Amino acid sequence: MADIIQLLPDHVANQIAAGEVVQRPASVVKELLENAIDAGSDSIKLIIKDAGKTLVQVIDNGKGMSTTDARLSFERHATSKIRNAEDLFQLHTKGFRGEALASIAAIAHVELKTKQPHDDVGNTIVMEGSKVTSQDVVVTPQGTSVSVKNLFFNIPARRNFLKSDNVELRHIIDEFHRVALAHPGIGFVFYNNGNEAFNLPISNYRQRIVNIFGTKTNEKLVPVEEETEVLKISGFVGKPEFAKKTRGEQYFFVNDRFIKSAYLNHAIASAYDGLLKNGTHASYFLNLTVDPQTIDINIHPTKTEIKFDDEHTLYAILRSAVKHSLGQFNIAPVLDFERDANLDTPYELKKESARASTPTIEVDRSFNPFQDEAPVKQRAVSYKKEPTESWESLYVGLESKGTKTQQDFSEVHFETEEATVSMFDKDIEKTHTTYQLHNKYIVSTIKSGMLVIDQHRAHQRILYEDYLQHLTIKGALSQQLLFPLDLHFSNQEIAVIIQLKEDLEHTGFVFSNVKEESIEIIGVPVGVPESEVSIILEQLISDVENEVPDSNFSATDLLAKSMAKSLAIKTGQSLQKDEQEHLVNKLFACKEPNVSPANRTTFVTMSVDELDKKFI
């Protein structure tokens, strides 16, 4: 039998390796930024075009590379940090696998320019699909510039799997935030399609957070500081009243490296136990410093998940540190009653000791405070009740002053009124055909049996079709606010709102002013409470950034779905009988009453035959 196992060609092996390292343009951004940080830079520029599909460029002012190093950097498993396996547990740098540039060069057009401080000129290398097309001397400033163009040009299938530009840009911004938050001692500038999106100067950690998420963030932060033999914690957590429905502002950094850990996230959530509303999540920006020998970073291709030696100890320390900070800054509630100043010890008696003997109380039982007063004679008063034969006698003898005679009541005519039935008449009672079960389902009777409706999903369908109609015909009613509503958001969130501003106005929102970090609203859709506006917009921003509709859906459809999800009747809300019937009638007036906007079943039916079988 012929041999069937063979070695893969290098370019195919590189493309397969690239699939693990480079999943989307944000992966390229992450790898290039980490390499720039390892080069000792204090100023890094990130330039993006078309959400990274056309260009991803990172420019740093680090130490640069020699001609040989520049060429070797594109070889697989080429690294300057690892000499043996033990070095994996002594890592203090970012890129250590030596696969980043090799993987990127296998699926894109890459141009590298680099120059060391003591050299007069630098070197440039141009690669296409793992092949070196040119290598030459070039005049370039100190540091390194890497340009990645036409990502996935030789793998069309991978390129087709990329999401829309808005979603890919969202992932790039997330990676940029993670790297920038971990290194406040480095200045970062981010350009998107020629426009400056972020300009983050060198600063302390708190100022870096404020520069990224807006000035309003400063008042939301509570500092956390703790240092033990096992773990050092520094950073900030958010106040409970500013908790959001999304998990966007949750960052863990271990030894200046962003990580994801559901276990440690649970420690934070338990520290906030009893302080957060249902469905909300607290923000945190925490730096954890541990011994590199106690963690294993090399367990995931993206290096965002690491393994700890003693997770239970870290959990307990982290939970206690956060809880202590919330209590120290009067964020957490404490059992403290209002102090009465009358019960305080007088100042002149504070140094006196308490008496050893019990004080005695003397009472003069013969004391009478009224013995010197003269007795008061009481006067008897008698009242004689005149009998009245009928109610007419009450008006006998009454005459109005200034008038000659009293008006004759016999001349007054009263209009006849139709007889009305009392609204509390027990004999006549309106019958209802709907019932609410566990404040979640509405049960209604039909000819063939009964109908069970999920009230939350049903209301979502009703609102979705209403908002979709308003957005289509561009005419919705708006209720004006007595006082303008001023809401604060970060720069990228404001950009999303500006993008959806026209569609939001068609649903009933009225914007009077849109600034860099805040918006002013003077009108909201009819039926939307003022307190829900910020929640609706936060949910909408999250949906636009993270949830991508299919290609046959538009941003209008996504907006209608998001608003319907935010404003729909929640599970657990009690409904009156007329509200239940109105919901049922509105649901079956929809074009597609069977499913919610998320394609989930809104109601189920059970026939009488099916019920009969239950009793057999």
Same domain, 79 and 121: yes
| In 447-490, alpha helices (H) | 455-473
Kindly state the tokens that stand for 271: 């520290």
Same domain, 132 and 66: yes
Q: CA 95 to CA 79: how far, in whole Å? A: 8
What amino acid occupies position 310?
A: D
Nearest Cα to Cα of residue 151 among 79, 73, 72, 57: 57
**Which phi and psi angles does 323 have, rounded to 5°?**
-65, -40
Same domain, 446 and 577: yes
CATH number of the domain where residue 195 is located: 3.30.565.10
Same domain, 225 and 166: no
Same domain, 195 and 264: no
Of 138, 172, 202, the one marking the end of a domain is 202
Q: What is the pLDDT of residues 309-318, one digit of tens each?
A: 788 888 999 9
Q: Would 66 be classed as within a structural domain?
A: yes
CATH number of the domain where residue 306 is located: 3.30.230.10
Same domain, 172 and 40: yes
Q: Would 567 be classed as within a structural domain?
A: yes
Same domain, 97 and 142: yes
- The strand pairing partners of 601, in sequence order, are 595
For the chain, list residues with pLDDT below 70.
1-2, 10-20, 77-99, 297-303, 330-359, 373-432, 474-476, 545-555
Same domain, 550 and 589: yes
Q: How do beta strands 43-49 and 187-192 pair? A: parallel
What amino acid occupies position 380?
A: A
Nearest Cα to Cα of residue 32 among 132, 123, 103: 103
Q: Would 351 be classed as within a structural domain?
A: no
Q: CA 148 to CA 58: how far, in whole Å? A: 9
Same domain, 465 and 578: yes
Q: Would 75 be classed as within a structural domain?
A: yes
pLDDT of amino acid 96? 46
Q: CA 368 to CA 366: how far, in whole Å? A: 6
Q: Would 579 be classed as within a structural domain?
A: yes
Q: Would 405 be classed as within a structural domain?
A: no
Same domain, 108 and 155: yes
**Percentage of the chain with pLDDT > 90?**
22
The answer to whether 143 and 39 are in contact (CB under 8 A) is yes
DSSP string, 510-555: EEEEE-SSEEEEEEEETT--GGGHHHHHHHHHHHHHH----TT--H
pLDDT of amino acid 551? 40
Of 293, 328, 363, the one marking the end of a domain is 328
Q: Would 557 be classed as within a structural domain?
A: yes
Burial of 5 (0-12, 13-18, 19+ CB in 10 A): exposed
pLDDT of amino acid 89? 52
- What global pTM score does this model have? 0.67
CATH number of the domain where residue 537 is located: 3.30.1370.100
Domain that holds residue 247: 213-328
- The count of structural domains within the chain is 3
Q: Would 590 be classed as within a structural domain?
A: yes
Same domain, 187 and 221: no
pLDDT of amino acid 474? 65
Same domain, 198 and 234: no
Using CA atoms, how far residue 585 sits from 54, 98, 342, 577, 581, in Å, is 51, 64, 63, 12, 6
Of 328, 359, 378, the one marking the end of a domain is 328
pLDDT of amino acid 422? 44
Nearest-5° angle of CA 289, CA 220, CA 535? 115
Distance between terminal CA atoms of the chain?
Answer: 65
